[in-house]
Chain A
Amino acid sequence: MRRALYDWDEGAYLTQEEGRVIDELEAMLRPPALPMAPYPAKSILLASGEVMVVREATVDEVDTLLKIVQPLTWLDRDYYDIVSARVFAELLAWKKYRVRNEYCLVGVIEGVLAGIVNGRMFDQGHGVSYHTLTLKRGLRVGAHLFAAKMEHHIEYLGQDEVWIVAESPIGHRRWMIEYPLDKKFEVQHELGGAPSWVLSRETYFKAKPRLVSGTRPVPAELLARSRPILKPDLSAMLVQIEDTLEARL
Chain B
Amino acid sequence: MREVAIIGAGSTQFGRAQWSLLKMMCEASHDAIADAGIGDRPVDAVVVANMGAARNNRTAGLASALVDRLNLFPAAAETVENGPASGATAVKAGFMAVASGVHDLVLVCGGERMREVNNFEATEFVSYLSHRYAEYPYGVTLPALAGMFARLYMDRYGVTPAHLAMVAIKNHANGVLNPKAHLRVGLTMEGLLTGPDAAMNNPFVAEPLRFFDCCPVSDGASAVLLAPATMAKQFKKTPVRIAGIGQATDLHAVHERPDPTELPAVRLAAEKAFKMAGLKPKDIDVAELHDAFTILEIAESEEVGFFPKGEGHKALERGETQIGGKLPINPSGGLKARGHPVGNTGVSQIVELVLQLRNEAGDYQVPGKPKHGFAVNFGGFGNNVVATVLARGV
Contacts and interface: CB of A to CB of B under 8 A. Distances in A.
Interface of A: 44-50, 138-140, 143-144, 147, 169, 173, 209-215, 243-246, 248-249
Kindly list the 3 A-B residue pairs having the minimum CB-CB distance in the complex, ordered from nearest. A49-B188, A47-B191, A213-B197
B296 to A, nearest CB: 20
A47 B187 contact: yes
A213 B185 CA distance: 21
A243 B218 CA distance: 11
**Interface magnitude class on chain B:** 20 to 34
Interface string B192-217: 10011111111100000001100000
B200 A48 contact: no
B23 to A, nearest CB: 10
B166 to A, nearest CB: 14
B71 interface: no
B200 A249 contact: no
B200 A212 contact: yes
A246 B201 contact: no
Given A49-B186, A245-B12, A213 B199 contact: yes
A7 to B, nearest CB: 51
Given A47-B202, A244-B18, A214 B183 contact: no
Given A47-B212, A49-B191, A246-B17, A138 B185 contact: yes
A45 B200 contact: no
B17 A245 contact: yes
Given A144-B200, A246-B17, A249-B13, A138 B187 contact: no
B196 A45 contact: yes
Contacts of B199: 209-210, 213
A216 to B, nearest CB: 11
A214 B197 contact: yes
B132 to A, nearest CB: 27
A48 B186 contact: yes
Contacts of B203: 210
A48 B188 contact: yes
A143 B211 CA distance: 13
Interface secondary structure of B, over-half rule: loop
- Which residue, of B18, B118, B195, B201, has the highest number of chain A Cβ atoms within 10 A? B201
Contact of B201 (A139, A209, A249): A139
B201 A47 contact: yes
Interface string B1-31: 0000000000011111111000010000000
Contact of B191 (A45, A169, A209, A245): A45
Nearest to A214: B197
27 contacts: A45-B191, A45-B195, A45-B196, A45-B197, A47-B188, A47-B191, A48-B188, A49-B188, A140-B200, A140-B201, A140-B211, A143-B200, A144-B200, A209-B199, A210-B199, A210-B200, A213-B196, A213-B197, A215-B196, A215-B197, A244-B17, A245-B14, A245-B219, A245-B220, A246-B17, A248-B15, A249-B13
Interface in B136-152: none
Contacts of B187: 47-49
Given A46-B197, A169-B118, 20 more contacts: A45-B190, A45-B191, A45-B195, A47-B191, A47-B198, A48-B186, A48-B187, A48-B188, A139-B185, A139-B201, A140-B201, A173-B119, A209-B199, A213-B197, A243-B15, A245-B16, A245-B19, A245-B24, A245-B219, A249-B13
Nearest to B201: A47
A213 B187 CA distance: 18
Nearest to A138: B185
Contacts of A46: 191, 197, 201
Contacts of B186: 48-49
Residue with the highest number of chain A CB atoms closer than 10 Å, among B119, B197, B198: B197
Contacts of B16: 243-245
Query: Counting chain B CB atoms within 10 Å of each CB, which of A46, A47, A49, A50 scores highest?
Result: A47
Contacts of B12: 245
